[in-house]
Chain A
Amino acid sequence: MTPHHDNTADTPAIELADVAFGYTATPVVEDISLAVSPGEYIGVVGPNGSGKSTLMKLMLGLLRPDRGRARLFGVPAHQFDTGSRIGYVAQHASASKEMPITVREVVKMGRFPHVGFGQLSADDWAVVDEALDTVGMSAFADRRVTELSGGQRQRAFIARALAGEAELLVFDEPTVGVDIESVAAFYDLLDVLHDDGITVVLIEHDLGAVTEHAERVICLNRELHFDGPTAEFVDSDALARAFGTTTAVLGDD
């Protein structure tokens, strides 16, 4: 199935204009304006509690901004329902922890936006198995998800996002719990996806990974401290300002 192209190439994949949001009266993020063009690879960094995950939820329409507007592919984010265009991997998988369900059944869900009320075709299943293969989980296809380690679960969820064949992939600290060698392989995979023209938004606490792979960095601590090319970010003092310290050293993790 090919992605829809019902709007022009210069419509931003993600657009936030003057966005502010707070779970209580205190804003978690404010004064956020940014646009992500199709095909970009963006890393979002910031200290713990800087509002990274909240920003991601605003981008995806899971939260509605208190002020300003959030758009996905030109549509107000909370109304956007073409799920086949977005893939998403959460930090701590929100998924049920006890349900009897196999890895393949989880990855299958990536195809649901494409099949709607219908059944998966042989082609859909081929995409599912390919995604399983890509994350090296083919041997675990018929295992119960509850039997997996944290890293294996995370791989299954990455496979689900891949199986969706989305134009925009959003990762919220996707490598938490994944072993070190696999982390490197995972970032290589993101590079390949990006080379194929997929828009990648990566929220990461590992600054080294972001500066090594992303083209553009967004540095956040309640408000934007930096938004620009990775090279400029490395040379700037944005990090120190965002983290509120002058001792932060890039790549030291």
Chain B
Amino acid sequence: MTDVIVQPAVIEPLLGPLYWLLGVWSQLMTGVARATGLEVLQYGFMHRAILVGLCIGVMAPLIGTFLVHRQLALIGDALAHTGFAGVAIGLFLNAVFEFGISPYLTAVIVAMVAALLIEVISETTDAYNDVSMAIVLSTGFALGTTLISINAGGLAVGVNQFLFGNLSTVSTDSAAILLVLFTIIIGVVGVTRNQLLYVTFDETAAAVSGLSVNWYNRIMVMLTAMVVVGAMQIMGVILVAAMLVVPVAGASQVARSFNESLLVSVVLAEIAVVLGIAVSYYGEATAGGVIVLLAVGVYVLAVLAGKLQTALTGTETPEMGAISPNSDPTTTDD
């Protein structure tokens, strides 16, 4: 019964244009398949998987950059596991009450609530810590496995796709949900990029400059929840966090500026995703695992490139100028 997932009537008109978009994308891919003769591009499910993969390659390192530089690399893992609890809740509700809700929707909701909880707890205790993160992670996973085992009947069959991800089970519905998440994430980061950068780099100075640090942190963790649930379809619960961390770690080895590091991390992630999907298709392996292995490979190359870069540019330092009060920094013309 999990094969046929009917969206509640409210969401249907919202997703309409996205189905159209997915159709256009699919036609485009079919065209590419005809022109190139690539077998991998002939199937509808691969069209959706590639689109989802490309989106993951942008949004995961984008959000990951803000997390990694705040020493929050593990929060993605914790939220993915609560997302799994959300999936289980969705499957449970569908089985017991015949709701027909996509489990990805319940996963988004549960993960976002968990994200807010982690953030609010850290605000009151004044620290993110490994322990609270580990507790949230295991609670999420325990809740998920318990709910699934209660309903073991028909449910356990569908669980593997959530745990390990699966290219061939990316349905039109879940691809549409991912596009919605993708749009929200890109939109919010686009609007608040200055604030997120300031809070990430220097929380105290950001607070003095009038930013509500707590609110930007809450926004950040909720975006993280959206990313991990969105990426879960292909990457799976267990490996999804790697996409938030590994390309970003690679990018910080070679990039000099923050903007450059954003760009490089997206490029590295896309390389891993595109190659990974192709390799897993032809090699008949699980996409999530292959993508992460490739991402780690790309990371190692980035580390080497970074070392090489340092060795080549040498250590010459430019002349430091004097602090010169004469050039008056406070004069402006407007």
A interface residue numbers (CB < 8 A to B):
1-2, 60-62, 80-84, 86, 88, 90, 93-96, 98-102, 105-106, 109, 112-113, 115-117, 123, 127, 130-131, 133-140, 142-144, 152, 155, 157, 160, 162-165, 170, 182, 185-186, 188-189, 191-193, 196, 198
Query: For residue B331, which residue of chain A has the nearest CB?
Result: A196
Name which of B33-41, B203-211, B271-279 contacts chain A. Answer: B203-211
Is the CB–CB distance between B318 and A102 below 8 Å?
no
The complex places the Cα of A80 from the Cα of B211 at a distance, in Å, of 10
Residues on B with beta carbons closer than 8 Å to the beta carbon of A192:
325-326, 328
Q: A88-B204, A157-B205, A189-B324 are in contact. List 4 more A-B contacts (CB 8 A).
A: A61-B208, A99-B258, A105-B258, A165-B332
Query: For residue A186, which residue of chain B has the nearest CB?
Result: B323
The complex places the Cα of A113 from the Cα of B70 at a distance, in Å, of 21
Residues on B with beta carbons closer than 8 Å to the beta carbon of A98:
69, 252
Residues on B with beta carbons closer than 8 Å to the beta carbon of A164:
209
The 3 closest A-B pairs by CB, nearest first: A136-B321, A83-B210, A83-B209
Query: For residue A101, which residue of chain B has the nearest CB?
Result: B258
Residues on B with beta carbons closer than 8 Å to the beta carbon of A60:
208
Tally chain B residues at the interface, Cβ within 8 Å: 46
Name the residue among B191, B209, B261 with the largest chain A CB count within 10 angstroms: B209
Query: For residue B326, which residue of chain A has the nearest CB?
Result: A192
Residues on A with beta carbons closer than 8 Å to the beta carbon of B318:
139-140, 143
Is the CB–CB distance between B205 and A117 below 8 Å?
no
Residues on B with beta carbons closer than 8 Å to the beta carbon of A189:
323-325
Distance of A112 from chain B, by nearest CB (Å):
5
The complex places the Cα of A117 from the Cα of B197 at a distance, in Å, of 12
Instruction: Identify which of A105, A134, A186 contacts B257 (C-beta below 8 A).
Output: A105
Q: Mark B298-333, 1 if CB is under 8 A from A, else 0.
A: 000000000000000000001111111111111111
Is the CB–CB distance between A86 and B209 below 8 Å?
yes
B interface residue numbers (CB < 8 A to A):
69-70, 191-192, 194-195, 197-198, 200-205, 207-212, 251-252, 255-261, 318-334
Is the CB–CB distance between A188 and B191 below 8 Å?
no
The complex places the Cα of A135 from the Cα of B261 at a distance, in Å, of 26
Query: For residue B205, which residue of chain A has the nearest CB?
Result: A88
The complex places the Cα of A134 from the Cα of B330 at a distance, in Å, of 10
Would you give 25 A-B contacts (Cβ < 8 Å), ordered by A?
A: A2-B332, A81-B210, A81-B211, A83-B209, A90-B205, A95-B202, A96-B200, A99-B252, A99-B258, A100-B255, A100-B258, A101-B201, A112-B195, A123-B334, A136-B321, A136-B323, A139-B318, A140-B320, A142-B257, A143-B318, A182-B323, A185-B322, A192-B328, A193-B329, A196-B331
Residues on B with beta carbons closer than 8 Å to the beta carbon of A116:
194
The complex places the Cα of A137 from the Cα of B318 at a distance, in Å, of 9
Residues on A with beta carbons closer than 8 Å to the beta carbon of B260:
100
Residues on B with beta carbons closer than 8 Å to the beta carbon of A131:
329
Is the CB–CB distance between B320 and A99 below 8 Å?
no
Instruction: Identify which of A90, A133, A163, A193 contacts B204 (C-beta below 8 A).
Output: A90
Distance of B315 from chain A, by nearest CB (Å):
9
Is the CB–CB distance between A1 and B334 below 8 Å?
yes
Distance of A57 from chain B, by nearest CB (Å):
9
The complex places the Cα of A170 from the Cα of B208 at a distance, in Å, of 10
Is the CB–CB distance between A96 and B201 below 8 Å?
yes
The complex places the Cα of A103 from the Cα of B318 at a distance, in Å, of 13
The complex places the Cα of A73 from the Cα of B223 at a distance, in Å, of 35
Distance of A30 from chain B, by nearest CB (Å):
22
The complex places the Cα of A170 from the Cα of B207 at a distance, in Å, of 14
Is the CB–CB distance between A100 and B201 below 8 Å?
no
Name the residue among A80, A130, A160 with the largest chain B CB count within 10 angstroms: A130
Instruction: Identify which of B198, B257, B319, B332 contacts A127 (C-beta below 8 A).
Output: B332
Known: A139-B320, A144-B256. A99 touches B327 (CB 8 A): no
Residues on B with beta carbons closer than 8 Å to the beta carbon of A140:
318, 320
The complex places the Cα of A136 from the Cα of B323 at a distance, in Å, of 5
Distance of A180 from chain B, by nearest CB (Å):
12
The complex places the Cα of A106 from the Cα of B200 at a distance, in Å, of 12
The complex places the Cα of A100 from the Cα of B251 at a distance, in Å, of 9
The complex places the Cα of A189 from the Cα of B331 at a distance, in Å, of 14
The complex places the Cα of A164 from the Cα of B210 at a distance, in Å, of 12
